[in-house]
Amino acid sequence: MSNKISTIIVDDEINARENLRYLTATFCKNIEIVYEASNVDEAIIAIENHQPKLVFLDIEMPQKNGFQLVNHFKKINFYIIFVTAYDKYAIRAFKVSALDYLLKPIDISDLKIAVKKAVTNINNDDVKKRTQLLKENQKKIQKIAIPYKSDYVIIDIKQIICIEADRMYSKIKLLDGKEYTASKKLSYYEEIFLSLNTYIRIHRSWIVNTDYIYKYSKKEKMIEMSNQFKVPVSKSYKERFEDLFRTTNH
């Protein structure tokens, strides 16, 4: 019996499937491609029949996309490495859920890293929870997986009052007073949160949730949040913030 990781490739482009098959055969000897599917419906049948441990899933496909495959399964019992051409929405979804993805054209070193992580975490329930989180965030981002210590914590974004930069880390402060130091820079969260209307960067070290702004002092250039926490507004962000502050009637 083979000790290799049974794997399915899902991609509508034959050249992409052939390329990934060649790369995995050459550089990832611990996985075995058991099926290649050209569309979502075919992939669903193949997954049910072969019960793979790992699936390389292309996102952009005609008729049905990769997200629809994820949504089909009530319970995800296989590890997914998402494959995508640059797609801002898709990448944000993966980041929010802290899931692995590869950009086309696939870089060999990125592939090796992704497969190594997959092999290590193939039966990790935490990864499955984060894949479930991707499903929950399909229509609107509601929760985010925060890398914390050696694990992840899943947080409702409505509970985030502000995020503070701390060198290469970020301090995420919640409404209930809890704080998590995440191993990501503030710019990482800026890319995710600033697409949402309720978050704004007011300082090179701060992002705040505008729903919790209680008071703003123009003289002191200081925001007071609803939990009495005070956050500075820097000169370079002042004008933009004041325009938003007026329009949101805070």
Convert the pLDDT of each residue in 25-74 to its tens digit.
Answer: 999 999 999 999 999 999 999 999 999 999 999 999 989 999 999 999 98
Q: Where in the chain is the domain with CATH 3.40.50.2300?
A: 5-136
Taking only the tens place, the pLDDT of each residue in 42-55 is: 999 999 999 999 99
Look at domain 5-136 and name its CATH class.
Answer: alpha beta
Architecture of the structural domain at 143-247? Beta Barrel (2.40)
d(CA 59, CA 85): 8
Q: Give residue 1's pLDDT.
A: 45
Q: Strand, coil or helix: what is 167?
A: coil
Q: How far apart are CA 118 and CA 80, in angstroms?
A: 8
Q: Comparing 216 with 1, which gets the higher pLDDT?
A: 216
Instruction: Name the helix (H) or strand (E) containing 115.
Output: helix 108-121
Predicted confidence (pLDDT) per residue in 96-138, tens digit: 898 999 999 999 999 999 999 999 988 888 888 898 889 888 7
Categorize the per-residue pLDDT at 250 as very low, low, confident or very high, splitting at 50, 70 and 90.
very low
Which of 162, 145, 142, 141 lies closest to 154, judged by CA? 145
- Rounded CA-CA distance 149/180 in Å is 9
Q: Return the pLDDT at 248.
A: 60
Per the prediction, the chain carries an average pLDDT of 90
Q: Establish whether the linkage from the previous residue to 105 is cis, with ω within 30° of 0.
A: yes
CATH 2.40.50.1020 intervals, the chain: 143-247
Query: pLDDT over 70 for what percent of the chain?
Result: 97
Cα–Cα distance measured from residue 42 to residue 96, given in angstroms and rounded to the nearest whole number: 28
